[in-house]
């Protein structure tokens, strides 16, 4: 009888240890190659930065993180003094994570349904990521030399070859969304497509409307709906060709206010872009070449960024060699100048004549150059 009682008591203790409260998560992890005593954190991102939900100490390569999450969110496991910040889906339940410091790309997550699906997505996409990395390594000297020589033909060819990898990653993401309308990762991927303008808005809307209703309460879903509603509301009041470009002003990276009015030339391009916008960054070499060739003849450009991270904005300006005036309120899609101009996707350009009248919109490459030359040579 005593043995039976002891067994029942032990079973109840084990059961109570394994049961989690409502909205409670338990992350059980291993960290290969990390010394004892190092701290590990589970963090979530807010508008102001990262907030730790729990902290633990690694012992014998193992750790546990536990806490409450009011809603499903994207979490990041970080180890102090290590270049490790692995994403996972932070949700109620038992989550597992294996961190391999020598080969981070081979780290894995699992346990809950959303994390199992996230891992499946990672397994498929990292094959493309590896090919992308090899291409970058093989072509770094080539593109550096082409940029120095102002060889836009070679730069554009390399960027075209490079874009194939992004297209392949887009296909993997779209297939995941189609197959997993109830997965939290699907709404994150759609939000990413919307932010980076990698898909037509109508296509994003179609996938969004097919997501499971349980996802509609998430932070990302609410953000997607807000942006799409704003875009729909802006359609009837866009600034069209023939209208006067409204003046605006904002600070440059050094904190000095610069206005459109003071930036006008014989021809002026208002360039809406962002450091996180892949199509914008791909187009930048063409714009740089155009500016170098025609600025002395009267072409001015003013860049308006939809960034929210000042450091990344400044880094992109320097890396892409953007020497014309750059301004931003660092408010992302809430950028007031973008709202003023009813910009619903980027890159977006407005070409103005000497009087500040919009004469063309959203031209690229050869078309943009031809229009600028036409305006510069007009009498």
Q: How do residues 209-263 score in pLDDT, each as one tens digit?
A: 999 999 999 999 999 998 888 776 655 556 788 888 999 999 999 999 999 999 9
What is the C-alpha separation between 140 and 161, in angstroms, rounded?
13
What is the C-alpha separation between 175 and 125, in angstroms, rounded?
11
Return mean pLDDT, the chain: 87
Residue 8's pLDDT is what?
A: 45
14 pLDDT tier (thresholds 50, 70, 90) = very low
Q: How do residues 300-313 score in pLDDT, each as one tens digit?
A: 999 999 999 999 99
Residue 342's pLDDT is what?
A: 86
Q: Which residues contact 213 (CB under 8 A, 6 or more apart)?
A: none
Greater pLDDT, 11 or 278: 278
This prediction has a pTM of 0.63
* Residue 39, pLDDT above cutoff 70: yes
Is residue 270 classed exposed, middle or buried when 0-12, 13-18 and 19+ CB atoms within 10 A define those classes?
buried
What is the C-alpha separation between 349 and 341, in angstroms, rounded?
10
Residue 306's pLDDT is what?
A: 95
Check: CB of residue 269 under 8 Å from CB of residue 303. Answer: no
- Averaged pLDDT for residues 51-62: 93
Task: Find the DSSP H helices in 180-300.
Answer: 184-196, 201-209, 219-234, 278-294
Give the rounded percent of residues in the chain with a pLDDT score beyond 90: 56
Residue 234's pLDDT is what?
A: 55
* Residue 6, pLDDT above cutoff 80: no
Greater pLDDT, 19 or 340: 340
Residue 233's pLDDT is what?
A: 64
- Averaged pLDDT for residues 176-191: 95
Residue 9's pLDDT is what?
A: 42
Q: How do residues 87-118 score in pLDDT, each as one tens digit?
A: 999 999 999 999 987 777 889 999 999 999 99
* Residue 17, pLDDT above cutoff 60: no
Strand partners, 90: 73
| β-sheet with 93-100: strand ranges across | 62-68, 24-32, 93-100, 108-110
- Averaged pLDDT for residues 120-124: 94
* Residue 16, pLDDT above cutoff 70: no
Q: How far from 267 is each of 123, 263, 338, 360, CA to CA, in Å?
A: 49, 10, 20, 11
Contacts 24+ apart (CB under 8 A), 83-87: 87/118
Q: What is the dihedral of CA 346, 321, 149, 352, to 10 degrees?
A: 50
Q: What is the dihedral of CA 317, 145, 277, 137, to 10 degrees?
A: -120
Residue 237's pLDDT is what?
A: 59
Residue 235's pLDDT is what?
A: 52
Q: How do residues 131-175 score in pLDDT, each as one tens digit?
A: 988 998 998 888 888 878 878 788 878 888 888 888 899 999 999
345 pLDDT tier (thresholds 50, 70, 90) = confident
* Residue 289, pLDDT above cutoff 70: yes
* Residue 85, pLDDT above cutoff 90: no
Domains assigned to the chain: 2-111 (2.60.40), 115-236 (no CATH), 238-376 (3.40.30.10)
Give the rounded percent of residues in the chain with a pLDDT score beyond 70: 92
Residue 84's pLDDT is what?
A: 80
């Amino acid at each position: 009888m005593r043995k039976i009682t002891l067994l029942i008591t032990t079973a109840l203790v084990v059961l109570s240890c394994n049961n989690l409260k409502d909205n409670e998560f338990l992350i059980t992890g291993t960290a290969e190659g990390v010394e004892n005593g190092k701290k590990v954190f589970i963090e979530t991102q807010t508008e102001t930065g990262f907030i730790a939900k729990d902290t633990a100490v690694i012992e014998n390569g193992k750790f546990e993180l536990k806490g409450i999450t009011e809603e499903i969110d994207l979490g990041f496991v970080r180890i102090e003094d290590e270049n490790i910040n692995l994403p996972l889906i932070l949700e109620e339940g038992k989550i597992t994570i294996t961190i391999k410091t020598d080969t981070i790309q081979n780290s894995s997550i699992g346990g809950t349904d959303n994390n199992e699906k996230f891992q499946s997505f990672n397994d498929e996409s990292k094959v493309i990521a590896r090919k992308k990395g090899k291409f970058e390594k093989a072509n770094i000297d080539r593109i550096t030399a082409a940029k120095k020589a102002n060889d836009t033909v070679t730069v554009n060819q390399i960027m075209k070859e490079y874009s194939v990898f992004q297209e392949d990653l887009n296909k993997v993401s779209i297939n995941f969304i189609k197959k997993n309308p109830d997965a939290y990762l699907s709404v994150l991927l759609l939000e990413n497509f919307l932010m980076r303008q990698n898909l037509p808005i109508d296509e994003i809307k179609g996938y969004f409307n097919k997501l499971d209703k349980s996802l509609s309460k998430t932070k990302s879903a609410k953000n997607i709906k807000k942006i799409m509603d704003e875009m729909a509301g802006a359609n009837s009041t866009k600034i069209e060709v023939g209208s006067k470009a409204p003046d605006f002003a904002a600070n440059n990276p050094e904190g000095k206010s610069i206005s459109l009015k003071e930036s006008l030339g014989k021809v002026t391009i208002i360039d809406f872009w962002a450091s996180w916008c892949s199509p914008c960054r791909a187009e930048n070499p063409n714009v740089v070449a155009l500016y170098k060739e025609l600025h002395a003849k009267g072409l001015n450009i003013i860049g308006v960024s939809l960034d929210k991270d000042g450091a990344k904005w400044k880094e992109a300006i320097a890396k892409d060699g953007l020497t014309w005036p750059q301004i931003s309120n660092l408010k992302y899609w809430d950028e007031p100048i973008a709202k003023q101009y009813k910009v619903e996707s980027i890159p977006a350009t407005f070409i103005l004549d000497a009087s500040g009248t919009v004469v063309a919109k959203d031209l690229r490459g050869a078309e943009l150059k031809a229009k600028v030359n036409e305006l510069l040579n007009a009498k």
